[in-house]
Amino acid sequence: MDLTLKVWRQSGPDDAGRMVTYLAKDVSPDMSFLEMLDVVNEKLILEGDDPIAFDHDCREGICGMCGMVINGVAHGEQRATTTCQLHMRHFEDGAEITIEPWRAAPFPVIKDLVVDRSAFDRIIQAGGFVSVPAGSAPDAHAVPVRKEDADDAFDAATCIGCGACVAACPNGSASLFTAAKITHLSLLPQGQPERLIRAKAMVDQMDAEGFGGCTNTGECTAVCPKGIPLDTIAQMNTDYLKASR
């Protein structure tokens, strides 16, 4: 199939950037979205142009490195799917596809579709951990954990840190990401001692990074490739309010 791509090109952080149109010919429906871009890039390189820069690594939906806004939707319209797992069979022959980077002030564009998500690391640094030096842990069976709690904690812990939630949120909020980590640790006995200081520190860091506030629009969970639920945000709010008292 043949496609028209409208891609955000920005040569560096200081460039204003613009949409540029490319034709992608003979695209196979079995290609992944990134493979389609690979093919476009191979051609660009040979023509002496700069290929479209985009982040990716595992290409199996787990590392969280990939991500672009495709036709106005973070990671594209297929639900619960990262960009790297999206396949071209979901597009029609002759379609026009717009491709843009995550847009948020705390995620400045580095080049084309590549953005700087280090704000997420700093949110984790603020408190997204359990303090336990290597070698000091008690036996793993010392504290039983209810299966339901372990499962719920796991569900929250599956966040891959891709940033789609921020990209999709009309407020540019990082609540879903932050809440996923807070919830993961707050559901486990191991996370209790630091529970409240963790919530407070992480939320404050999120605000300090310049992310917007949550107005519960649900856009985040709708595009989240791991389906992190809004419940996590309620959990975050509970812990945060408790910590602020």
Partner 1 sequence: MAVTGAVMVGFLALHMLGNLKIFYGRESFNEYAHWLRTLLQPFLPYRGVLTLLEIGLFLAVVLHMWAAITLTRRARKARPVKYVAKKSQATGYATHIMRWGGVTIALYIVWHLLDLTFGVVNPAGFNSAPADRMIEGFQPGRWWVTAVYVIAIILVGLHLRHGIWSAFQTLGWVKGERRRIVKLGALAFSAVLVLGFLAPPLAIMFGVVK
Partner 2 sequence: MIEYTEGEALRDAKAPEGPIEERWAKRKFSAKLVNPANKRKLNVIVVGTGLAGGSAAATLGELGYNVKSFCYQDSPRRAHSIAAQGGINAAKNYRGDGDSIYRLFYDTVKGGDFRARESNVYRLAEVSVNIIDQAVAQGVPFAREYGGLLDTRSFGGAQVSRTFYARGQTGQQLLLGAYQALERQVKAGTVEMFTRHEMLELIVSDGRARGIIVRDMVTGEIERHTADAVVLATGGYGNVFFLSTNAKGCNTTAIWRAHERGAYFANPCYTQIHPTCIPVSGEYQSKLTLMSESLRNDGRVWVPVAAGDQRAPGDIPDEERDYYLERIYPAFGNLVPRDIASRAAKNVCDEGRGVGPGGLGVYLDFRDAIGRLGRDAVEKKYGNLFEMYERITGEDPYTQPMRIYPAVHYTMGGLWVDYDLQSTVPGLFVIGEANFSDHGANRLGASALMQGLADGYFVLPTTLGDYLANGPYGEVDEEAVAEAEIKVRTKIDRLMAVNGTRTPDSFHRELGKIMWDFCGMERTEESLRKALELIPALREEFWRNVKVSGTPEELNQVLEKAGRVADFFDLAELMCLDALVRTESCGGHFRAESQDADGEALRDDEHFAHVSAWERTPDGPVLHKEALEYDYVKMSQRSYK
Q: Taking CB within 5 to 8 Å according to partner kind, which of partner 1, partner 2, ligand SF4, none is near residue 6?
A: partner 1
Compute φ and ψ for 222, nearest 5 degrees: -70, -30
User: CA quadruple 90, 96, 97, 103: dihedral positive or negative?
Assistant: negative
Specify the DSSP class assigned to residue 2.
Answer: -
Question: Should residue 137 be labelled a site residue for partner 2 when binding is judged by CB under 8 A?
Answer: yes
List the one residue from 6, 43, 59, 103 that touches ligand FES (CB under 6 A).
Answer: 59
Whole-angstrom Cα Rg for the chain: 20
CB 83, CB 70: distance < 8 Å:
yes
Cα torsion at 165, 166, 169, 174 (round to 10°)?
90
Within the chain, residue ranges assigned H as helices are: 33-46, 118-127, 147-157, 164-168, 175-186, 195-208, 219-223, 231-244
Question: Should residue 56 be labelled a site residue for ligand SF4 when binding is judged by CB under 6 A?
Answer: no
Smallest distance, ligand FES to C-beta of residue 142, A: 35
Nearer to ligand SF4, 67 or 191 (CB): 67
List the one residue from 160, 166, 182, 224 that touches partner 2 (CB under 8 A).
Answer: 160
Smallest distance, ligand FES to C-beta of residue 143, A: 33
Smallest distance, ligand SF4 to C-beta of residue 138, A: 30
Query: Considering only residues 142-171, where is the footprint of ligand SF4 by CB under 6 A?
Result: 159-165
Tell me which H or E stretch contains 18: strand 18-24
Question: Should residue 225 be labelled a site residue for ligand SF4 when binding is judged by CB under 6 A?
Answer: yes
Question: Should residue 66 be labelled a site residue for ligand FES when binding is judged by CB under 6 A?
Answer: yes
Query: Considering only residues 199-238, where is the footprint of partner 1 by CB under 8 A?
Result: 210-219, 221-223, 230-231, 233-238
Compute φ and ψ for 81, nearest 5 degrees: -135, 130
What gap in Å lies between CA 91 and CA 63, rounded to an integer? 25
List the one residue from 31, 63, 124, 157 that touches ligand FES (CB under 6 A).
Answer: 63
Give residues in contact with ligand FES (CB under 6 A).
Answer: 56-59, 61-66, 82-84
Give residues in contact with partner 1 (CB under 8 A).
Answer: 6, 8, 17, 19, 69, 71-73, 77, 98, 100, 103-106, 168, 170-173, 210-219, 221-223, 230-231, 233-241
